[in-house]
Every structure is written in structure tokens, then in C-alpha cells.
Amino acid sequence: MTIVQVIPLVYGFGPYEKYNHNVTTDIVREVNRLKLARGIVFDVRFDSNQFIAALERYQPKVIIGIGQHPRARKIRIERRARNWHESACSTGKPIESCGPEFRYASLKIPTTEETTVTYNAGAYLCNYSMYLMCREAERMKAKYAFLHVPIHVDIQRIIELFKTVLGR
């Protein structure tokens, strides 16, 4: 009998716009180093294929996305993604033409003094990925959460939060 181990997936993003470094890359690197989950750094582009391909390849049952939020003072637990995205090349359009207005995270992240819960994942790539991943997680019967982190976040605090959520 073959036992297949299902490994959680944690993803972040590469550099974007005026930010030559994205702290989520460091977080993903640490997740991989500690073998807490499979960590992936996605390119900063509105391409649903990169997200869906990773899910199809790894078939995770737990998915956590992380994005850098330059104005955040605390770790933001994003509960909802909106069916809308904007970019430097677009004035805005639905992510999914016939999709619901909102999709919700299904993985509960514990709140602490260092976190805040929000219902607005923005209008750019973090919201875009969250909306798609919520849809795909539901289809796959997986749990999903998204966090926005401050640029100068203590990476070890994020790692401890992940350990708690992932039961490690």
C-alpha cells in the first residue's frame, strides 16, 4: 500500500513596482528551509495559470497565501476577496465574468495582538490570487487563507503562526 503525504502549500510573490525586494520571498524560503510546507514564489503577473498549475501539481489540502502590504502595521488576516482586479494596464474588470462578487477564506487563522482581520484584500494581485485560490480550494475541498504582511515583519512571528495553523 502506498501512502501519499499531502503537504501544505504556502505561496508568496517576487518583487513588484518600486519594491525591489518582497518580504514574502524570505518567508517562503524559511518555510522551505524548515520543511513546514511546500513554498512557492509566484511571479507578479495576472496569470491564473501559474496558480492553478501549482495546485494541480501538488494537490494540497491546506493553502496559505502571503502578500506584502507596504502600509500595514500588523499582519492582516484577509477573510474575503472581491471579484475585481486592477493593474497598471487595466482600469479594472471582474476576475471571473460570472463568478460571485466575493469569495471567502476557509482556513481559520488565530488572531493575536499582532494581527487584524480585514475584509478587503485590495484590488491588485493579492486579491486576484486570493479570489482564484478560494475558488480552487473549494473545488479541491482544501482549506485556504491569505495574509498581508508589513514590509518589516518579523519573519519568525509568521513562522510561529504557520506552525500553529499547520499543527507543527
Supply the pTM of this predicted model. 0.94
Residue 2: per-residue pLDDT: 57
Domains and CATH numbers, the chain: 9-166 (3.40.630.20)
Tens of pLDDT, residue by residue over 75-92, are 999 999 999 988 767 778
Per-residue HEC secondary structure of 36-55 comes to: CCEEEEECCCCCHHHHHHHH
Contacts of 125 (CB under 8 A, 6+ apart): 13, 16, 44, 45, 46, 67, 85, 87
Residue 42: per-residue pLDDT: 98
Q: How far is it, in rounded angstroms, from Cα 76 to Cα 113?
A: 11
- Rounded to a whole number, what is the distance in angstroms from the first to the last CA of the chain? 26
Residue 1: per-residue pLDDT: 56
Residue 108: per-residue pLDDT: 96
Q: How far is it, in rounded angstroms, from Cα 80 to Cα 90?
A: 22
Contacts of 132 (CB under 8 A, 6+ apart): 48, 51, 52, 95
- Listed as ranges, residues in the chain with pLDDT below 70 are 1-5, 88
What does R_g of the chain's alpha carbons equal in angstroms? 15
